[in-house]
Amino acid sequence: MARFFKLLLAGGLVLAAVVGLLYLIPSDEYIFLPDKAQPLAPYVTVQGERSDHDGGGIYYVAVEVKKASLLEKLFPGLHEGSTLVPAAAVVSPGQSDKQHQRQELQAMAQSQEIGAAVALKALGYRVPVTSPGTVIADVNPHGPSAGKLRASDTIAAVDGHPTPSLPALRRQITKHSPGQNVSLTVRRNGTVRTVRVKTAPDPQDKRRSIIGVLTSCALQTASKIRLPVPVHIDLGRVGGPSAGLAFALDVAEKLGHDVDRGHKVVASGEMCLDGSVVPVGGLKQKTIGARRAGADVFLVPAGENAQEARRYAGKMRVIPVHTYRQALHALTTLK
């Protein structure tokens, strides 16, 4: 009997060592994990801000993204709300983790400036903005722009029509039927060239045209924004553009406008300079993070993001929005 227990103990130790080793060895995939939503107020400073003690607040929610261990890949259900994703969906080909993190922090910094600009413009301030075009974040290697466009290219115009923002670029591309050619004015390394690309049907809507590039409102690093009111936002090492909507709402709240009306409001959505709110990733994890924070409402981009959020929201109310002004209206009409 004693020998049996010794063998059982030895087997348990070996199993524990194997499990520990599998947890330490990274796999070839990434894992998305929920992170509890946090209030923005401690991280946002606006000149002339006013105190608000109604018990509500604007919250942002992030997603923890890390290399999945072999154990997490083999047993994806180890963490509640986790999602395994291939490395190609997180890091561009040839891009290191450090380069990716630097790009995410850059997108975060730009989203803060854009959020503040949109909020101040909605409040009647004059916010001068100059933009040379829409910056490409990545190119689909199997799409119509492969071999013609590169990441960091700036599309200044489509068929001669300026495209200073992501929505403007989309409008010009979707004017064409799938299969038609478009003429792109592209800036690359200080030179301007004309590139012709044949549009392709959007997999989500076969009637809509795309050119196979990934763009982001928060990657418009060449845009020059002059804020008439000093705004400082610091979330440390949190990266990505998806807190833009939350930033805009909190800036308005800081300037004395009762945006939250006493509610705990979590918001996720990338802001564009024209006030439009565009989709973001990780909605499953963000919804769980908002729910864990006890949110009253969760503002998200309309469409697939809202559909995904409703699947994990439980009793938390999900409000889909297309624009910043629509988000403001939705909050002012809350009971």
Looking at residue 299, what is its pLDDT?
A: 98
Distance CA 47, CA 67 (A): 40
End position of a domain, from candidates 219, 254, 274: 219
Looking at residue 322, what is its pLDDT?
A: 95
Distance CA 147, CA 255 (A): 48
The mean pLDDT of 41-66, rounded to a whole number, is: 86
Please indicate, yes or no, if residue 206 is contained in any of the structural domains.
yes
Question: Could you tell me which residue, 25 or 252, shows the higher pLDDT?
Answer: 252
Please indicate, yes or no, if residue 71 is contained in any of the structural domains.
no
Looking at residue 327, what is its pLDDT?
A: 97
CATH number of the domain at 109, please. Answer: 3.30.230.10
Looking at residue 254, what is its pLDDT?
A: 92
Could you report the per-residue pLDDT of 103-125, keeping only the tens digit for each? 788 888 888 999 999 999 999 99
Please indicate, yes or no, if residue 68 is contained in any of the structural domains.
no
The mean pLDDT of 26-47, rounded to a whole number, is: 88
Q: 58 and 112 in one domain?
A: yes
Q: 141 and 252 in one domain?
A: no
Question: Dihedrals φ, ψ of 103, to 5°?
Answer: -65, -40
Contact 129, 273 (CB under 8 A): yes
Query: Does residue 16 have a pLDDT over 70?
Result: no
CATH number of the domain at 178, please. Answer: 2.30.42.10
Could you report the per-residue pLDDT of 257-288, keeping only the tens digit for each? 889 999 999 999 998 888 989 899 999 999 99
Q: 243 and 151 in one domain?
A: no
The mean pLDDT of 152-171, rounded to a whole number, is: 88
Q: How many domains, in total, are found in the chain?
A: 2
Q: 309 and 327 in one domain?
A: yes
| pLDDT cut 90: percent of the chain above it | 47
Q: 188 and 59 in one domain?
A: no
Please indicate, yes or no, if residue 245 is contained in any of the structural domains.
yes
Please indicate, yes or no, if residue 26 is contained in any of the structural domains.
no
Residue 174: pLDDT band with limits 50, 70, 90: very high
End position of a domain, from candidates 219, 244, 279: 219
Distance CA 333, CA 335 (A): 6
Domain with 292, as residue range(s), is 35-63+98-127+227-332
**How many CA within 13 A on the CB side of residue 3?**
0
Of 104-108, 120-124, 147-151, 232-236, where does the model show the most confidence? 120-124
Query: Does residue 292 have a pLDDT over 90?
Result: yes
The CA radius of gyration of the chain, in Å to the nearest whole number, is 23
Looking at residue 133, what is its pLDDT?
A: 84
Query: Does residue 126 have a pLDDT over 90?
Result: yes
Q: 322 and 234 in one domain?
A: yes
The per-residue pLDDT of the chain, averaged, comes to 86
Q: 239 and 193 in one domain?
A: no
Please indicate, yes or no, if residue 21 is contained in any of the structural domains.
no
Q: Which residues of 149-175 are buried (b: 16+ CB within 10 A; e: fewer)?
A: bebebbbbbbeeebbbbbbbbbebbbe
Query: Does residue 165 have a pLDDT over 70?
Result: yes
The mean pLDDT of 133-147, rounded to a whole number, is: 87
- Give the type of residue at 52: D
Q: What sign does the dihedral 293-43-55-329 (CA atoms) show?
A: negative
Distance CA 127, CA 118 (A): 9
The mean pLDDT of 70-96, rounded to a whole number, is: 77
End position of a domain, from candidates 219, 239, 274: 219
Q: 306 and 268 in one domain?
A: yes
Distance CA 322, CA 324 (A): 7
| pLDDT cut 70: percent of the chain above it | 87
Looking at residue 23, what is its pLDDT?
A: 53
